[in-house]
Amino acid sequence: MSLPIRPLPILERYDCHGCGDCCFGTIVPLSAEDLARIRGQGWDRHPDYRRLKLLVGEGLFKRRYQLAKRPDGSCVFLTPQRRCRIHEEFGPAAKPLVCQIAPLQLVPLEQFAYLTVRRYCRSAANDHGRPLAEHCDELRDLVERNGAAPRASQPPPVARGQRRPWKETFVVTDCITRLVTDSRYPLIRRLVHGVEFCGLVDRCRLQGLDGPRLAELVGMLEEAAVEGAGDLFQRRLPPGKQAMRLFRQSALEYLRLHPKFVPERSWRERWRLVRAAMAFARGKGPVPLFRLPFPESTFESLERPLGHLDESVLRPLNTYFETIVTSLRYAVLGRRGWSVVDSFQSLALSCAVAMWILRLACGPRTPSVDDTKELAMLLDRGQEYKPLLGRWHRFRVAILARRRELGRLAVWYAR
């Protein structure tokens, strides 16, 4: 039985304005129906596509396919006018289902599915368009026609090896949502509250606790997390050397997701990436920019305080983190096998990375709201980027969490 669809309690807006951002750097997996439809469209006979690779397969036994990309990272079907060629030739219903839905996102839970919006889209990042509540009926019809209506999902583990029913999982995720959306505190403080809470949860044995006892424990951990975060902000100590090395490795992964980054598929680019990885590991001297239009900087200069940022400048990041936490997208989608604790800790690390990249992107000038919108787009792309979903990144986050460096990193780069 399909789940009812409902929007978030946080107002989100979206309508397509034809920017084409969703056609850059986005993985488009194809269902069997999508694959049959595209193969039946005769692109192998089209003069513009006869010699182009249109599909990329993966998997040895059960082959899965996705749309191929051009060297600049754009979809193979994107025209120079930033229009979808499939849409132009055959209409919107001929596109893969992912493309028809994007950037809208369904997050299936137990009794309903949240409808939210991916902020890699510039229109979504700007909150341009109708409230998402007005998209629910249209989206429901679309997914039901394509046999993709949302079904009840299994709850992720709360912590490693601690899987609970949805009712008890919600006790933990609701607490994280309360902490991150608590408007009495600035964004970084709220995320550090969440980091402290997740660290406490990870050290507890939740097995055997029934609903009321679990709720009582979570309430105590919530209070302790808010109190424990105060010391981090009072002392503002720099992270350790190993923590900084792991942090810069994550920053390098995210940097290539910036909306202004243009990928290049060549051996020269691979060698450039190897040299950049070595530079990021050292953390000294000039920062490799990958042709990004940023001012030249050194790793040392990016450790300087950023200074006070107006609330309006940080609003795109506030909205991104509040919506991804409220929808549970960070915990339910993408990271197979990750616990709620793992996923939130990774999310908190991404905020510290964003503040580091903000220094890099702006140099000596004052950051603007356009800068933080691009950061929200970058972070959203990271939610489906394989290097940030795999075992190595999970291991990286676990080490930082175990050494209590995640909160320190967030506090340090919020200076």
**Axis-axis angle for helices 311-326, 369-382 (nearest 10):** 20
Cα three-residue angle 414-371-261, rounded to 5 degrees: 110
- Return the domain boundaries, the chain: 5-145, 156-415
Reported as half-sphere exposure (CB side, CA atoms, 13 A), residue 181 has a value of: 18
- pLDDT score for 317: 95
Indicate the burial class of 292 (C-beta count within 10 angstroms; 0-12, 13-18, 19 or more). middle
Looking at the chain, the whole-number percentage of residues with pLDDT higher than 90 is: 54
Reported as half-sphere exposure (CB side, CA atoms, 13 A), residue 234 has a value of: 5
At residue 199 the predicted structure's pLDDT band, cuts being 50, 70 and 90, is very high
At residue 290 the predicted structure's pLDDT band, cuts being 50, 70 and 90, is confident
| Digit-coded pLDDT (tens) for 57-110 | 876 666 788 888 887 778 888 888 888 999 988 888 889 988 888 899 999 999
Whether the upstream peptide bond of residue 295 has omega within 30° of 0, thus cis, is: no
- Give Cα 67 to chain centroid, integer Å: 21
| Digit-coded pLDDT (tens) for 355-404 | 999 999 999 999 999 999 999 999 999 988 888 998 999 999 999 999 99
State which amino acid sits at residue 63.
Answer: R
What is the mean pLDDT of the segment spanning 23-46?
Answer: 85
At residue 330 the predicted structure's pLDDT band, cuts being 50, 70 and 90, is very high
| Digit-coded pLDDT (tens) for 219-266 | 999 999 999 898 899 888 999 999 999 999 999 999 988 888 877 777
Which residues are CB-neighbours of 98 under 8 A, at least 6 positions away?
A: 28, 29, 34
- pLDDT score for 60: 65
Place of tokens 């999982």: 169
What is the mean pLDDT of the segment spanning 311-328?
Answer: 95
Q: Is the pLDDT of residue 206 over 90?
A: no
At residue 339 the predicted structure's pLDDT band, cuts being 50, 70 and 90, is very high
At residue 23 the predicted structure's pLDDT band, cuts being 50, 70 and 90, is confident
- pLDDT score for 214: 87
| Digit-coded pLDDT (tens) for 171-190 | 999 999 999 999 999 999 99
Average pLDDT of the chain to the nearest whole number: 90
- For every residue of 340-386, DSSP letters joined together read HHHHHHHHHHHHHHHHHHHHHHHTTSPP-HHHHHHHHHHHHHHTT-G
C-alpha gyration radius of the chain: 22
| Digit-coded pLDDT (tens) for 118-165 | 998 888 888 889 999 999 999 999 888 888 888 999 999 998 888 889
Which token pair is 272? 């450039």
282/67 Cα distance (integer angstroms): 37
